[in-house]
Structure 1
Amino acid sequence: MASAYDFSFETLQGKPYPLSALAGRPLLVVNTASKCGFTPQYTALQAVWKEFAPSGLVVIGVPCNDFGAQEPGSEEEIGRFCEINYGVDFPMMSKVHVKGPKAHPFFTWAAGQGGFLSKPRWNFYKYLVNKNGGLEDWFSSKASPDSKKFKAALRKML
């Protein structure tokens, strides 16, 4: 059975980002978009990154344009938008598909691990990966990263 650490992304700057380099660390992987009603969650994601990074957590933003064409920008535009508007300094990846036949393998794997309802149905689905590379939990777009339930799941995983 694959683990999250078997997958790799590419950064906004076009550099490989193998999750194997993060083996043993818990991850929060989120499919993001710049023009979505949930885009303000970047603020809470940045706060989670600052709060839990000392415990080893790595927050990873993965832009996608699959839902309502809400991430139309280039990698450079996405990076600039996130930094200027939300002060994002957690790792941001290049735009990928998260659904359909061209879905990035990580999201196909996560949906397979979490069951039918865990499949991304909109932007800002959140996937918690434990230190062993297994899917610990997942949250839909509506779950705010600063909610008590979300933070409790994070603390449990750490």
Structure 2
Amino acid sequence: MTASLTDISLTTLDGKPTSLAEYADGAVLVVNVASKCGLTPQYSALERLAQEYRDRGLTVIGVPCNQFMGQEPGTAEEIQTFCSTTYGVTFPLLAKTDVNGANRHPLYAELTKTPDAAGEAGDVQWNFEKFLLAPGGRVVNRFRPRTEPDAPEVIAAIEAVVPR
């Protein structure tokens, strides 16, 4: 992974330190998530991707964010309970994070430099924006929130970078 992405300190939802270096050998799909959003049902497709591609080297990472109309108001425990009981989420979740603005997490400061299919970089538009990282950490795709996790273009992008 590029040094800038792997060196960024992250915190898991349960408060443990981590970084993307832990996933450097595989592909990673980073998604800012929320429990009370019209797009929240995307959790189902994200979990299917996590299950279907786990053995091929893809890790889905959810990043709870409360910056879009307060749609992720819960505590870490509430978020974990909601995700596991409502959607059966088994993929890693990070601590609640700002993805835009003055307090934007350094991870998102890097990710948002990546343009989408229309060539537009910059702020995350809404919950469930997806960034695909190839093994080694290069950001190779950015999918806007309304692009479903199992959309053909997302699957094709994942297939192009999973190592196995």
TM range (shorter): over 0.9
Aligned length: 158
Q: Is contact 2:114-2:142 (8 Å) kept?
A: no
Q: Is contact 1:60-1:91 (8 Å) kept?
A: yes
The reply to whether residue 145 of structure 1 matches residue 149 of structure 2 is yes
Q: State the partner residue of 1:52.
A: 53
Q: State the partner residue of 1:36.
A: 37
**For residues 67-107 of structure 1, what are the alpha-carbon distances to aligned partners after superposition, in whole Å with 9 as ceiling and x for unaligned?**
11000000000000000000000001110100001011111
In structure 1, runs of 5+ residues without a counterpart are none
Q: State the partner residue of 2:132.
A: 128
| RMSD (Å), alpha carbons | 1.4
Q: Is contact 2:114-2:121 (8 Å) kept?
A: no
Residue identity over aligned pairs, in percent, reads 43
Amino acid at match of 1:79: Q
Distance in 2 between residues matched to 1:17 and 1:128, nearest whole Å: 18
Amino acid at match of 1:155: E
Q: State the partner residue of 1:90.
A: 91
- 3-state secondary structure, aligned to 1:127: strand
The reply to whether residue 117 of structure 1 matches residue 117 of structure 2 is no
The reply to whether residue 80 of structure 1 matches residue 61 of structure 2 is no
The structure with the largest helix share of the pair is 1
Normalising by structure 1, report the TM-score. 0.95
Q: Is contact 2:10-2:19 (8 Å) kept?
A: yes
Distance in 2 between residues matched to 1:33 and 1:78, nearest whole Å: 9
Distance in 2 between residues matched to 1:53 and 1:100, nearest whole Å: 33
Normalising by structure 2, report the TM-score. 0.91
Distance in 2 between residues matched to 1:11 and 1:107, nearest whole Å: 15
Distance in 1 between residues matched to 2:152 and 2:120, nearest whole Å: 24
- Of the structure 1 ranges 106-115 and 28-37, higher mean CA displacement relative to structure 2 is found in 106-115
- 3-state secondary structure, aligned to 1:117: coil
Distance in 1 between residues matched to 2:93 and 2:99, nearest whole Å: 15
Distance in 2 between residues matched to 1:5 and 1:155, nearest whole Å: 22
Distance in 1 between residues matched to 2:4 and 2:150, nearest whole Å: 26
Distance in 1 between residues matched to 2:122 and 2:81, nearest whole Å: 30
Runs of 4+ in 1 over 6 A off after TM superposition: none
Distance in 1 between residues matched to 2:5 and 2:50, nearest whole Å: 19
Q: CA deviation at 1:7?
A: 1.9
